[in-house]
């Protein structure tokens, strides 16, 4: 038994055999993470690898002895109850992403040790046909309607300044969970009269968003409750530790239950991002505004959130028929 140190943190104990092989596995894992293009990607890959290694530990399988059937069983487990007992069933896209990360890890190990004459593993258990294919034309995320969003904000405000600041920032600025986890106090500032927050998104892309007054006031109230710290993480737990995705999931679901939202158990931090983008499309009808809010590089990604897609009323064909003077009885 031993611990696998990854990116300065320690993964849960795994069923490793002591010796040179596992020392090499640690080294290769750190190198694999170090080869990723951004800190955001490193953190995401580390998290997904943790899930796989925890499954290996739970099922008493050394990762280098794993077979495709072990990954297939892990996939089935995620479909049924997720990666943690309290997580709930995982979406297809989440499962596909995790398996892809695991396959990338094995590919790196295989490629690096193949020429040594004693490869650590010769097959990649992550290359399985059981990996689900996410629907690229539809988002499976459960969102909120306007009344539910209002009730969630009310519940968050009543829960305390930190909950109020987090939920308002998610619903007004469509921020990702990773932004809540990594946002810095030093990112707060002003620009041309706007209160702004500078954040790091995918690919270490630095973006700056204006904060609407209610959101800015909520953040100020939260910082005041902490004694106005000048540096460090913008959001921390009550004991001062960094906030992570499981913590945010529990927060969203707990507040949703307090707000009487029927879909509380299906909600996630991404549900609030989904809601913010969808409401922007509904309110403005402007795909570019929604794309800017979401910081999507590709507008096709933003279109996944457009619930009006495919509706017949107001279809462009009617507009064109009027333009060309076509007769309905022709």
Instruction: Give the pLDDT score at 311.
Output: 58
* For residues 2-28, average pLDDT: 57
Structurally, at CATH architecture level, domain 146-303 sits in Orthogonal Bundle (1.10)
Name the strand (E) or helix (H) holding 279. helix 269-284
> pLDDT tens across 269-308, in order?
988 988 888 888 888 877 888 888 877 877 877 777 775 5
Q: How many residues does the chain have?
A: 330
> pLDDT tens across 101-119, in order?
999 999 999 999 887 777 8
pLDDT at 205 over 70: yes
Per cent of the chain over pLDDT 70 is 82
Residue 50 tokens, joined: 């943790």
Q: How confident is the model at residue 14 (pLDDT cuts 50, 70, 90)?
A: very low
Q: How confident is the model at residue 163 (pLDDT cuts 50, 70, 90)?
A: very high
- Give the burial string for 259-277 (b: 16+ CB within 10 Å, else e): bebeebebbbbbbbbbbbb
pLDDT at 136 over 60: no
Mean pLDDT, the chain, integer:
83
CA distance 25 to 79: 29
* For residues 112-139, average pLDDT: 80
144 within 8 A of 259, measured Cβ to Cβ:
no
Q: How confident is the model at residue 12 (pLDDT cuts 50, 70, 90)?
A: very low
- Residue identified by tokens 């590089």 is 297
Instruction: Give the pLDDT score at 315.
Output: 58
Contacts of 202 (CB under 8 A, 6+ apart): 38, 40, 41
Contacts of 57 (CB under 8 A, 6+ apart): 12, 13, 14, 15
Instruction: Give the pLDDT score at 313.
Output: 58
CA distance 30 to 278: 39
pLDDT at 202 over 80: no
Instruction: Give the pLDDT score at 140.
Output: 61
CA distance 175 to 105: 28
Instruction: Give the pLDDT score at 72.
Output: 95
Where is pLDDT greater, at 66 or 42?
66
Quote the longest CA-to-CA distance of the chain.
Answer: 82
What is the chain's alpha carbon radius of gyration, rounded to the nearest angstrom?
23
pLDDT at 254 over 80: yes
Q: Phi/psi at 206 (nearest 5 deg)?
A: -90, 125
Instruction: Give the pLDDT score at 67.
Output: 94
**Which range has the worst mean pLDDT, 41-50, 88-97, 319-328?**
319-328
From the list 88, 265, 273, 301, the residue with the least C-alpha distance to 179 is 273
Residue 158 tokens, joined: 């009543």
> pLDDT tens across 62-95, in order?
999 999 999 999 999 988 888 876 667 787 878 8
Q: How confident is the model at residue 323 (pLDDT cuts 50, 70, 90)?
A: low
Instruction: Give the pLDDT score at 15.
Output: 44
3-state helix, strand, coil in the chain (%, to 5): 55, 10, 35
Q: What SS3 class is residue 311?
A: coil
Instruction: Give the pLDDT score at 317.
Output: 64
Each domain of the chain, given as residue ranges in start order, spans: 5-116, 146-303
Instruction: Give the pLDDT score at 87.
Output: 64
Residue 150 tokens, joined: 């209002």
CA distance 266 to 65: 35
Where is pLDDT greater, at 285 or 256?
256
* For residues 134-153, average pLDDT: 77
CA distance 155 to 166: 12
Burial grade of 206 (CB within 10 A; 0-12, 13-18, 19 or more): exposed
CA distance 244 to 236: 9
Q: How confident is the model at residue 6 (pLDDT cuts 50, 70, 90)?
A: very low
């Amino acid at each position: 038994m031993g611990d696998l140190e990854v990116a300065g943190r320690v993964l849960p104990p795994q069923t490793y055999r002591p010796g040179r092989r596992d020392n090499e596995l640690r080294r290769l894992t750190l190198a694999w993470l170090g080869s990723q293009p951004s800190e955001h990607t490193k953190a995401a890959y580390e998290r997904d690898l943790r899930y796989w290694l925890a499954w290996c530990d739970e099922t008493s399988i050394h990762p280098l002895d794993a077979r495709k059937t072990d990954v297939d069983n892990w996939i089935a487990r995620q479909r049924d109850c997720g990666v943690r007992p309290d997580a709930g069933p995982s979406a297809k896209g989440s499962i596909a992403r995790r398996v892809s990360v695991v396959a990338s890890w094995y590919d790196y190990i295989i490629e690096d040790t193949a020429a040594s004459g004693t490869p650590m593993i010769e097959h990649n258990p992550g290359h399985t046909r059981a990996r689900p294919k996410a629907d690229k034309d539809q988002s499976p995320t459960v969102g909120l309607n306007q009344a539910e969003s209002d009730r969630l904000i009310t519940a968050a405000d009543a829960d305390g300044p930190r909950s109020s600041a987090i939920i308002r920032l998610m619903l007004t600025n469509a921020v990702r969970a990773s932004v809540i986890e990594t946002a810095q106090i030093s990112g707060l500032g002003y620009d041309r009269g706007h209160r702004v927050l500078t954040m790091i998104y995918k690919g270490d892309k630095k973006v700056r968003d204006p904060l609407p007054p209610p959101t800015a006031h909520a953040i100020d109230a939260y910082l005041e409750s902490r004694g106005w710290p000048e540096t460090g993480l913008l959001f921390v737990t009550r004991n001062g530790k960094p906030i992570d995705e499981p913590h945010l999931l529990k927060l969203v679901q707990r507040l949703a239950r307090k707000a009487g939202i029927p879909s509380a158990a299906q909600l996630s931090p991404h549900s609030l991002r989904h809601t913010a983008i969808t409401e922007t499309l509904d309110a403005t009808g402007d795909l570019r505004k929604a794309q800017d809010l979401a910081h999507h590089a590709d507008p096709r990604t933003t279109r996944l959130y457009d619930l009006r897609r495919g509706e017949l009323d107001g279809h462009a064909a009617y507009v064109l028929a009027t333009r060309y003077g076509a007769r309905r009885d022709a």
